[in-house]
Structure 1
């Protein structure tokens, strides 16, 4: 299992965090996971797990990627089935993310970003191929219809302008609102 910290301390390998944990505890940990994507999971751990035994700083976020271990280890087959079910789909901070969306030839796919702070990656493709990947805040998953409308009214170039304008997390909504008001 890989454990890493946002402060940059080198990752280390530690004991299995689910070993000997009862089913309810495992399911609670998976439900609260930072991200789950098709059987892979990242959970936030407390400071005692800080890599290399260093004392964590106030801003440290310690994450464990559980893709390297069997989350069902030690469970009976019925319990293991429940854990596997908790690892299906795509979630960020316990919230189910929508499956791929296709509207008028535009395809949008939402997945968790591989960053320390929770974020989404929205991949947009059209008939010509990939258009753009946008980084969005977790609560901006509801903006997919606005992205479809922006593409409908302004094409690929409108999405490229949006990507340039909203280059850092949390500003996607702000720029879409500004563009909607400008178009009105």
Structure 2
């Protein structure tokens, strides 16, 4: 289906561009959200007659979004979740959770503005995009941790899961050799079986 874009759409085009898209994308997203018009002769005339107003309205919204973007500078949210020992969450962090966290931090944002390709399913620090306007997007750091203490560690650049693995490995080494220095690497010697002839000689000497 050919459509006339009423606003910039990422990977498609800018206001006024006529682009070909899949019918389902047009019917389910572009047309109902008033991001485009069907590219027929009547709509072309309507668009051209209103182009100046459409572009002016878009510029006004973009200006407001640019002001809002300044309030997001250095924005970050922390979500405390339970997880397994491997860092996999019991559940996931979805768009709804991010919207609630951002609103709690004082930002006014809608679900459609949070760009999350797939739910977050493991602890860690992620960067999520908030689309304030088709031409204005801001990054938000999302810190998913099991405790406020771990969140602080992750915020300072510590890989919590790697640190935990090293701690567990060190504990194993100390259990294997109580006299080992902390942080030492366990050494395991492998003795090969002696050839049959040598083994027989040793046994006869004994």
TM-score w.r.t. the length of structure 1 is 0.25
Larger-Rg structure: 2
TM-score w.r.t. the length of structure 2 is 0.23
Which protein has the bigger strand share?
A: 1
Which protein has the bigger helix share?
A: 2
